[in-house]
């Protein structure tokens, strides 16, 4: 075979060209559909123009090849020769267009990819920002809620502690680093005898200490340990009176551990102190009473014998004047001793046998004054009586109570010396159901250092031979037998007595209904 | 790499254009110019297709059916382009007496001796066996793209992906 027919080539060209046109149109249809579905897609735009160019290529080529086939088939090659360059030129334009589109698309795609990448980054950043904003918002809300909750807790805590601070019956105070009082509770203000806390705030805490040594000791302890516990001291009130307190103090520090002040609590133990002292006094009295009773009992018998023999000897020596005088002195001194012994026995013996008689205390006072007023007036001492008419009767021993009043009046007389006033008040305290007999004098007053000794047996300020020191001790015992007690105030606590010029007042408390009182004491 | 390739191609084109001796501002173009432009068009098209294949290779897209057909289509277009380029060159080299014309198209024949070049020319003339499958694959690819986009738009309206 030395040739190959070209007819099959032209047939394939003809059919292929037709198929190319058909399939390019189908492809174009889908590309167009895609651009309609997603008009913003660069890919579909590229596909659209890619297909468009290929359709043009297919049509140009298809038509060209078909026309060539027909013209050549029907013997018009010269016509085809003139058309052929146009067909070829169109073909060149079409696939050049496809090439340009491809290069162009690649660049656009890269740009779009970059823009999309930036947009994605921006989108993600935006999402992150939104998340952060939401988290921040949530945190903010939580924070607000937390702050609100914490504020409420703080308010409640503040209320609680404020209540404790304001309502406490103890002294609570705060000082700064220079020991200047910065705040104090109402009880503290009252305890120190002030009316408002502004009068105390700004004053050094040291000023309220009675003993400077105590202040130094306290300061040293607080500086050393950071706190002081149960430190007992005396504070001076506004009016100058003394109160006993137990202080507990702690140092306050700031967040850097530096001392910024101190806080403290003080408990008023004045009353407790008085009660304790009274108890000690009672115990002392009881001990002394027992001792005195023993001594009195032992002395009483030989004293009786001395007195008896002295009287017998007096009869034998009536003619001997010197001996008789001496025996009379012995008898007199023995009688004095006997009276002392009798007093001691009265002090020590607690007997209620004869203290059941119903009596009027005013009557007792008047009885005593009837006897003693004359001698008082001799020394220009006048008695100012303020006896209440509305006082109930009490049960007791008229004689013993008279003795108590005489003893106290004697002491007042001694304290005044010459020229003065003795005030006597009687009154009924309904609340306590007791009668108070107050005997005051305008004398020199009792020095503070001996005030706690005045009820001790044999304690006296009188010169030797003028007093035995048993008057107040015996009185103490008698009043105690009546269920009451004696209180000495020098100077007097109540203003009315001070205004009346009294320097010392002795207050006798006597219960009206002793049985109730005893029951109350028992319970 | 893509930019470098583009630059080389543009430089080549520039060289081809300006290396013509008679190239003046306004001139009458002789007969070989049309052929040369056509050949250059094929070169340009080939380069674009190679570039596209390179892009598809560099930025691989999901193994979605539409993309598979698209790649096959591009491959066929490339083969077709090389085939037509080759046939154009061979037709120039073919002696005039190699094609015997008759009174009718049916009698047109390619005469021997049939060496490799002449056989290559003859079978290369059946280029529609390459371009028709290329166009079919492109149509199928676009059809799948359409279906996918319609389906996605019905559900979430997302994109198919891009390259």
Q: What is the per-residue DSSP string for A358-373? A: EE-HHHHHHHHHHHHH
Peptide bond connecting A108 to the previous residue in cis, omega within 30 degrees of 0: no
B8 touching A (Cβ < 8 Å): no
Locate the DSSP E strands across A374-467. Answer: 381-387, 394-396, 420-429, 434-441
B54 touching A (Cβ < 8 Å): no
Q: Do A34 and B146 touch (CB under 8 A)?
A: yes
Instruction: Report how far residue A102's alpha carbon sits from residue B5's, in angstroms, rounded to the nearest whole number.
Output: 13
Instruction: Report how far residue A259's alpha carbon sits from residue A178's, in angstroms, rounded to the nearest whole number.
Output: 10
**Helix, strand, or coil (residue A92):** helix
Of the options 3.10.129.10, 3.40.50.720, 3.30.450.20, 2.60.40.1120, the CATH number for the domain spanning A168-268: 3.30.450.20
Q: Which residues pair with A248 in a beta bridge?
A: A265
- pLDDT (tens digit, 0 to 9) for every residue of chain A, 523 residues total? 678 888 888 888 888 888 988 998 898 898 888 888 888 777 788 778 888 888 888 888 877 877 877 887 777 778 888 887 787 788 888 888 888 888 887 777 777 777 778 888 888 888 989 999 888 888 888 888 888 899 999 999 989 888 888 888 888 999 988 889 999 999 989 888 898 888 899 999 998 998 889 999 988 888 888 889 889 999 998 888 888 999 999 998 888 888 888 999 999 888 888 778 777 776 776 677 677 777 777 787 788 888 888 888 888 888 888 888 888 888 888 888 887 777 777 666 554 456 678 889 999 899 888 888 888 888 899 999 999 888 898 988 888 888 889 889 988 988 898 899 999 999 998 888 899 999 999 998 888 888 878 887 777 777 765 666 778 888 888 888 888 989 899 889 888 899 989 999 999 999 987 665 555 455 4
Helix ranges restricted to H, A38-176: 42-73, 77-167
Taking CB atoms and an 8 Å cutoff, what residues of chain A touch B105? 7, 10, 69, 72-73
Radius of gyration for chain A, computed over Cα atoms and rounded to the nearest angstrom = 62
Which top CATH class is A274-348? Answer: mainly alpha
How many inter-chain contacts (A to B, CB under 8 Å) are there? 148
Cα-based distances in Å from B161 to A47, A50, A59, B64:
14, 18, 31, 10
For position A428, what pLDDT does the model report? 92
Burial of A314 (0-12, 13-18, 19+ CB in 10 A): middle
A256 touching B (Cβ < 8 Å): no
Backbone angles phi, psi at A493, to 5 degrees: -80, -35
For residues A210 and A235, the answer to whether their CB atoms sit within 8 Å is yes
Backbone angles phi, psi at A360, to 5 degrees: -105, 120
For position A354, what pLDDT does the model report? 65
Q: Which of A417-421, B76-80, B136-140, B152-156 has the lowest mean pLDDT?
A: B152-156
Instruction: Report how far residue A5's alpha carbon sits from residue A148's, in angstroms, rounded to the nearest whole number.
Output: 101
For position A425, what pLDDT does the model report? 94
Could you give the angle at the alpha carbon of B13 between the alpha carbons of B7 and B16, nearest 5°? 140
For position A181, what pLDDT does the model report? 92
For residues A179 and A220, the answer to whether their CB atoms sit within 8 Å is no
Instruction: Report how far residue A323's alpha carbon sits from residue A312's, in angstroms, rounded to the nearest whole number.
Output: 13
Instruction: Report how far residue A73's alpha carbon sits from residue A474's, in angstroms, rounded to the nearest whole number.
Output: 171
Q: Do A58 and B48 touch (CB under 8 A)?
A: no
- Indicate which of B135, B136, B162 best probes the interface with A, i.e. most A CBs within 10 Å of its own CB: B135
Q: State which residue of chain A sits closest to B47, comparing Cα positions.
A: A99
Instruction: Report how far residue B128's alpha carbon sits from residue B77's, in angstroms, rounded to the nearest whole number.
Output: 11
ipTM value greater than 0.90: no
- Residue B115 makes CB contacts below 8 A (sequence gap 6+) with none
For position B160, what pLDDT does the model report? 45
For position B134, what pLDDT does the model report? 92
Terminal-residue alpha carbon distance, chain A = 153
The pLDDT tens digits for B91-146 are 888 888 888 877 666 777 888 788 888 889 889 989 999 999 999 998 999 899 88
Instruction: Report how far residue A236's alpha carbon sits from residue A286's, in angstroms, rounded to the nearest whole number.
Output: 33
For residues A361 and A478, the answer to whether their CB atoms sit within 8 Å is no
Instruction: Report how far residue A116's alpha carbon sits from residue A122's, in angstroms, rounded to the nearest whole number.
Output: 9
Taking CB atoms and an 8 Å cutoff, what residues of chain A touch B160? 43
For position A421, what pLDDT does the model report? 93
For position B30, what pLDDT does the model report? 56
Backbone angles phi, psi at A469, to 5 degrees: 80, 20
Locate the DSSP E strands across A206-314. Answer: 227-236, 242-253, 259-268
For residues A440 and A500, the answer to whether their CB atoms sit within 8 Å is yes
B144-155 burial by CB neighbour count: b if 16+ within 10 A, else e? bbbebbeeeeee
**Helix, strand, or coil (residue A442):** coil
Taking CB atoms and an 8 Å cutoff, what residues of chain A touch B153? 37-38
For residues B38 and A92, the answer to whether their CB atoms sit within 8 Å is yes
For residues A520 and A496, the answer to whether their CB atoms sit within 8 Å is no
Q: Which of A43-52, B1-10, B74-83 has the lowest mean pLDDT?
A: B1-10
Q: Which of A111, A13, A84 is nearest to B31 (CA)?
A: A84
For residues A35 and A44, the answer to whether their CB atoms sit within 8 Å is yes
For position B159, what pLDDT does the model report? 47
Burial of A40 (0-12, 13-18, 19+ CB in 10 A): exposed
For position A166, what pLDDT does the model report? 86
Backbone angles phi, psi at A432, to 5 degrees: -90, -5
Instruction: Report how far residue A70's alpha carbon sits from residue A76's, in angstroms, rounded to the nearest whole number.
Output: 8
**Helix, strand, or coil (residue B104):** coil
Q: Is the dihedral of CA A17, A19, A20, A21 positive or negative?
A: positive
Of the options 3.40.50.150, 3.30.565.10, 3.40.30.10, 3.40.50.410, the CATH number for the domain spanning A357-522: 3.30.565.10
Taking CB atoms and an 8 Å cutoff, what residues of chain A touch B44? 95-96, 99
CB contacts under 8 A, B 60-89 vs A, are 81
For residues B40 and B90, the answer to whether their CB atoms sit within 8 Å is no
For position B61, what pLDDT does the model report? 67
**Helix, strand, or coil (residue A505):** strand
Question: How far does the CA of residue A14 sit from the closest CA of chain B (Å)?
Answer: 9
pLDDT of residue B23 exceeding 50: no
Instruction: Report how far residue A52's alpha carbon sits from residue A258's, in angstroms, rounded to the nearest whole number.
Output: 88
Which tokens in the block code for residue A252?
């306050």
For residues B132 and A20, the answer to whether their CB atoms sit within 8 Å is yes
Residue with tokens 């017998």: A312
Question: How far does the CA of residue B36 sit from the closest CA of chain A (Å)?
Answer: 10
Other beta carbons within 10 Å of B98: 18
Taking CB atoms and an 8 Å cutoff, what residues of chain B touch A90? none
Taking CB atoms and an 8 Å cutoff, what residues of chain A touch B78? none
Instruction: Report how far residue A70's alpha carbon sits from residue B99's, in angstroms, rounded to the nearest whole number.
Output: 19
Domain residue limits, chain A: 7-134, 168-268, 274-348, 357-522
Question: How far does the CA of residue B14 sit from the closest CA of chain A (Å)?
Answer: 15
Instruction: Report how far residue B120's alpha carbon sits from residue B116's, in angstroms, rounded to the nearest whole number.
Output: 6
């Amino acid at each position: 075979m030395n040739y190959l027919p070209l007819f099959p080539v032209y047939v394939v060209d003809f059919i292929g060209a037709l198929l190319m046109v058909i399939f390019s149109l189908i492809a174009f249809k889908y590309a167009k559909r895609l651009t309609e579905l997603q008009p913003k897609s660069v890919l579909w735009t590229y596909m659209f123009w890619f297909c468009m160019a290929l359709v043009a290529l297919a049509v140009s080529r298809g038509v060209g090849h078909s026309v060539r086939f027909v013209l050549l088939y029907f013997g018009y090659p010269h016509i085809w020769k003139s058309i052929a360059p146009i067909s070829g030129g169109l073909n060149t334009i079409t696939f050049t267009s496809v090439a340009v589109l491809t290069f162009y698309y690649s660049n656009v795609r890269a740009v779009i990819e970059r823009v999309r990448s930036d947009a994605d980054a921006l989108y993600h950043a935006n999402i992150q920002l939104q998340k952060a904003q939401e988290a921040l918002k949530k945190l903010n809300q939580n924070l607000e809620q937390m702050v609100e909750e914490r504020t409420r807790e703080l308010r409640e805590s503040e209320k609680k502690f404020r209540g404790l601070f304001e309502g406490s019956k103890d002294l609570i105070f705060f000082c700064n680093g220079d020991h200047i009082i910065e705040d104090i509770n109402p009880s503290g203000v009252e305890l120190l005898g002030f009316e408002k806390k502004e009068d105390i705030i700004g004053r050094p805490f040291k000023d309220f200490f009675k003993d400077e040594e105590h202040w130094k000791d306290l300061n040293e302890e607080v500086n050393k340990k950071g706190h002081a516990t149960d430190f007992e001291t005396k504070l001076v009130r506004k009016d100058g009176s003394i109160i006993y307190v137990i202080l507990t103090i702690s140092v306050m520090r700031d967040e850097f551990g530096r001392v910024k002040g101190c806080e403290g609590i003080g408990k008023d133990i004045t009353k407790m102190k008085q009660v304790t002292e009274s108890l000690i006094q009672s115990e002392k009295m009881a001990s002394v009473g027992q001792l005195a009773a023993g001594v009195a009992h032992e002395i009483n018998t030989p004293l009786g014998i001395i007195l008896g023999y002295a009287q017998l000897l007096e009869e034998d020596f009536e003619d001997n004047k010197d001996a008789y005088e001496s025996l009379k002195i012995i008898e007199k001194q023995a009688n004095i001793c006997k009276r002392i012994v009798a007093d001691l026995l009265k002090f020590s013996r607690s007997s209620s046998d004869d203290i059941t008689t119903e009596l009027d205390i005013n009557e007792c006072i008047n009885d005593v004054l009837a006897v003693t007023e004359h001698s008082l007036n001799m020394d220009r001492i006048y008695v100012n009586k303020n006896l209440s008419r509305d006082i109930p009767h009490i049960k007791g021993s008229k004689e013993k109570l008279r003795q108590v009043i005489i003893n106290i009046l004697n002491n007042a007389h001694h304290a005044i010396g010459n020229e003065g006033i003795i005030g006597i008040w009687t009154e009924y305290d309904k609340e306590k159901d007791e009668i108070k007999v107050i005997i005051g004098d305008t004398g020199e007053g009792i020095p503070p250092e001996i005030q706690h000794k005045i009820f001790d047996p044999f304690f006296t300020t009188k010169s030797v031979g003028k007093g035995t020191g048993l008057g107040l001790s015996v009185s103490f015992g008698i009043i105690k037998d009546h269920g009451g007690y004696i209180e000495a105030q020098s100077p007097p606590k109540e203003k009315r007595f001070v205004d009346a010029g009294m320097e010392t007042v002795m207050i006798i408390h006597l219960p009206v209904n002793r049985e109730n009182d005893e029951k109350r004491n028992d319970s | 790499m893509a930019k470098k390739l583009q630059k080389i191609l543009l430089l080549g084109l520039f060289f081809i254009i300006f290396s013509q001796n008679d190239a003046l501002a306004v001139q009458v173009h002789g007969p070989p110019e049309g052929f040369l432009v056509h050949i250059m068009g094929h070169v340009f098209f080939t380069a674009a297709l190679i570039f596209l294949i390179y892009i598809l290779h560099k930025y691989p897209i999901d193994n979605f059916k539409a993309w598979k057909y698209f790649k096959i289509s591009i491959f066929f277009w490339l083969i077709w382009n090389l085939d037509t380029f080759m046939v154009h060159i061979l037709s120039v080299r073919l002696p005039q007496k190699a094609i015997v014309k008759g009174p009718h198209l049916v009698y047109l024949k390619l005469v021997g001796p049939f060496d490799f070049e002449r056989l290559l020319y003859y079978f290369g003339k059946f280029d529609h066996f390459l371009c028709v499958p290329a166009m079919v694959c492109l149509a199928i690819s676009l059809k799948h793209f359409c279906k996918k986009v319609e389906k996605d738009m019905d559900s979430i309206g997302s994109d198919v992906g891009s390259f």
